[in-house]
Amino acid sequence: MNTRLSTLAFATALCLAAPTARAKPYRAMVTRTAETTQHGNMEIGLRYQGFFAFDNAKSLPYHQVSPSIRWGIFDNLEANVYFEVLGIGTPGLGNFQLAFGDIPLGLQWTFLESRAFALAAYGRITFPTGPSDLDAIPPSLSDGTWDGEATLIAEVRASRDLRFMFNASYLRNGTRDRGALPDFDVPDAVQLSVAGTYNLTDATLIGLEVIGRKYSEPAITPVWTDNANQVEIVPVVRHEVYPGLVLEAVAGVAVTPDLSNIYQFRILLGATYEFDLNSGPRRSDDDSKSSKPASKKKPSRKR
């Protein structure tokens, strides 16, 4: 195994070997869940994704690091923002450079929720602050265009631990400004996602996602000219190592030739930490204070 893949394998193992904690991760990795960040809470996150092939020479030379913020505005209403940084080339070599990426800003409203079923709507607009003159960047990354998304989310809660999520999305893609070259109008797409997740314990979630995307034209960039039909399988592992702190690690595998021509698999590694905005992030000395009698208060909503 080459050095690049060995490093990623070690990072993945480190995520999964972390000690057990108390609470219950409830999100899938890519497919959106109907449950939102708790009212009055904020979740901060950081995720890396890289694109690879079994023949390392064919690996897509892009790496993305994305800090994120989610906060609960009201019950069942959540806002989120992502700040993307794009690494271009191979880290450690002279051709590597960093570029500031696009800024997606989204809002999710869960308008129907019961013990067994929930419905939600998600809307997103992407501000084009990334590079738009790099023709090999696929539209799913920061490509410097105004983009929009409208998604309907359905969630079936078969039991306390078993959930199924269904996403139906319309992706409105903008036009790339390629400088001296002609502009390129990125075709719109329809995306369907299906996910199943199961909590092995209150701290460990596993699952499987299938994500299908179809563009309205075969040419999705000036380089990828016959890549409209894309299907990916994403296994999910999320583990809470400390109350509110969740680590995640998966490798998404391309299924259709239209996607595997771009990349054969991608690595997703990340962490999220959710805390109450009123009390702030939990400190290590909070455990010693927890032995004192606690004042009576309304219990928080259970995941």
- pLDDT, residue 280, reads 66
Residue 261: what pLDDT? Answer: 92
Q: What is the pLDDT of residue 1?
A: 46
pLDDT at site 11: 45
Q: How far is CA 117 from the centre of its chain?
A: 23
Residue 54 CB: number of other CB atoms within 10 A? 9
The Cα–Cα gap between 51 and 28 comes to: 20
Which residues 6+ apart lie within 8 Å of 97 measured at CB? 87, 88, 89
CATH code linked to domain 3-278? 2.40.160.40
Coil, strand or helix at 10: helix
b/e for 179-209, b at 16 or more Cβ within 10 A?
eeeeebebbbbebebebbbebeebbbbebbb
pLDDT reported for residue 42:
95
- Token pair, residue 229, equals 């039909």
pLDDT reported for residue 148: 98
- C-beta atoms surrounding 259 within 10 Å: 24
Instruction: Give the pLDDT confidence score for residue 279 in this predicted structure.
Output: 77
CA neighbor of 251 nearest in space, from 270, 231, 234: 234
Rounded Cα–Cα distance for residues 210 and 218 (Å): 21
Beta strands 265-276; 245-254: pairing state: antiparallel
> Who contacts 134 (Cβ-Cβ below 8 Å, separation ≥6)?
88, 143
Question: What pLDDT sits at residue 65?
Answer: 95
Q: Name the token pair of 61.
A: 């030379």
pLDDT for residue 283: 55
Question: Which pLDDT belongs to residue 301?
Answer: 44
Contacts of 195 (CB under 8 A, 6+ apart): 28, 30, 31, 164, 165, 166, 207, 208, 209, 210, 236
Give the up-direction half-sphere exposure of residue 260: CA atoms within 13 A in the CB hemisphere: 9
Phi, psi (deg, nearest 5) at residue 234: -125, 105
The alpha-helical segments, DSSP class H, found in the chain are 3-16, 257-260, 286-289
Per-residue pLDDT of the chain (303 residues; tens, 9 = 90+): 454 444 445 444 444 444 433 346 889 999 999 999 989 999 999 999 999 887 766 667 889 999 999 999 999 999 999 999 998 887 767 678 889 999 999 999 999 999 999 999 999 999 999 999 999 899 999 999 999 999 999 999 999 999 999 999 999 999 999 999 999 999 999 999 999 999 999 999 999 999 999 999 999 999 999 999 999 999 999 999 999 999 999 999 999 999 999 999 999 999 999 999 887 666 545 544 444 444 444 344 444
Per-residue pLDDT at 91: 72
